[in-house]
Amino acid sequence: MAAAINILRGVVLTLPWLIWVFIVDFIVSLLSPFLPIVPDICYNISSALAESGWYWIQLIFTRANGAIITVSGDVLPHGESAVIVANHVMWCDFYMIQELAVRAGMLGRCRYFAKTQLKWVPFLGWGLWALGMPMVSRRWDKDKRELDRVFSGIVYRKWPTWLVSFSEATRYTPGKHAASVKWCAEHDRPQPQHLLYPRTKGFVTTVQHLRKATHVKAVYDLTIAYQKGDQFHCPPSMWETLSVPDITKSEGYRFHVHARRFPLSELPTTDDGLAKWLETCWVEKGNWLEEKRLEWLTSVAE
């Protein structure tokens, strides 16, 4: 019975939102022919539309379904453009990033690296492309044109942006973790705890390009952690985030996002230096996650 009520609840909460997303998608797609003529206006309109959709789903999760997201670390400056790297556990990671983006007034300016296959999802893929999401295959020679498209808006038109990349390229699973451990052992690299070894190529390319954009001032490293009961790294499914009431208090889910801000001017300038920087960042991120796990473990035992 409770399950049936949750399904109904999820549908009632999600359906109006989905309809709005389709409308937004439609308008954003209609804007794309005007993009070369009035690029800044198009970017502002599509950002405002995107913000409405993203804020709405954030409210479903946090207000309607009672998710309590804990934030820690550096306070991110209001309205600042940045390159953002985060670990990837589940679909719902975007709520954690949005929580910070709302506080920094940058929700409408979030642009995520997405898989190129998404371009072929009818309707939705178009909208993502028109919004200026970089759609990459992760074969960097092939992605050059796409990156030039996205970076030129940021570099030459100075569009405010949070450019978000999940540097592990894929979601965390025990199987992928085992593969990462093996790869790190073979290549003499440190394996970060609770994480996959990051892909450095995309990060290096992004930072080297966006250095030319004077308004992009920093790299933010976001660490996302979940707990359910006494289980670490155990996030809810997307459907649960939309349908389950009181997801923190009655279901025992915990959500945490930890932010660190690094001025771009303090990062290494060489490609190798940047790759090494990201590696160190991931090792520190892993240590932070282990501390969080222990802290949560003790608090559950109490």
Ligand X SMILES: *[C@@H]1O[C@H](CO)[C@@H](O)[C@H](O)[C@H]1NC(C)=O
Applying CB under 6 A, the residues found at the interface with ligand X are 40-41, 44
CB of 27 to ligand X, least distance (A): 16
Question: Is the CB of 81 or the CB of 98 nearer to ligand X?
Answer: 81
Cα–Cα distance for residue pair 72/57, rounded to 1 Å: 22
Question: Exposure string (b/e) for 253-280, b if CB count within 10 Å is 16 or more?
Answer: bbbbbbbbbbebeebeeeeeebbebbbe
Question: Is the CB of 15 or the CB of 41 nearer to ligand X?
Answer: 41
H or E element, residue 288: helix 271-301
Token pair belonging to 71: 């934030």
Question: Is the CB of 47 or the CB of 165 nearer to ligand X?
Answer: 47
Question: Is the CB of 44 or the CB of 193 nearer to ligand X?
Answer: 44
Q: 112-117: list long-range contacts, CB under 8 Å, 24+ apart.
A: 112/164, 112/165, 113/163, 113/164, 113/165, 113/166, 113/202, 116/143, 116/146
CB of 34 to ligand X, least distance (A): 12
Question: Is the CB of 9 or the CB of 215 nearer to ligand X?
Answer: 215
Question: Is the CB of 11 or the CB of 41 nearer to ligand X?
Answer: 41
CB of 160 to ligand X, least distance (A): 6
Nearest to 279, CA basis, from 224, 201, 198, 214: 198
Which residue spans within 41-187 are E strands per DSSP? Answer: 69-73, 81-86, 110-112, 114-115, 135-136, 162-166
Question: Is the CB of 43 or the CB of 296 nearer to ligand X?
Answer: 43
Cα–Cα distance for residue pair 279/269, rounded to 1 Å: 15
Token pair belonging to 62: 């946090």
CB of 136 to ligand X, least distance (A): 26
H or E element, residue 273: helix 271-301
Cα–Cα distance for residue pair 154/293, rounded to 1 Å: 37
Token pair belonging to 300: 């559950």
Q: Tokens 């990201």 map to which residue?
A: 278
Question: Is the CB of 40 or the CB of 148 nearer to ligand X?
Answer: 40
CB of 199 to ligand X, least distance (A): 32
H or E element, residue 56: helix 39-59
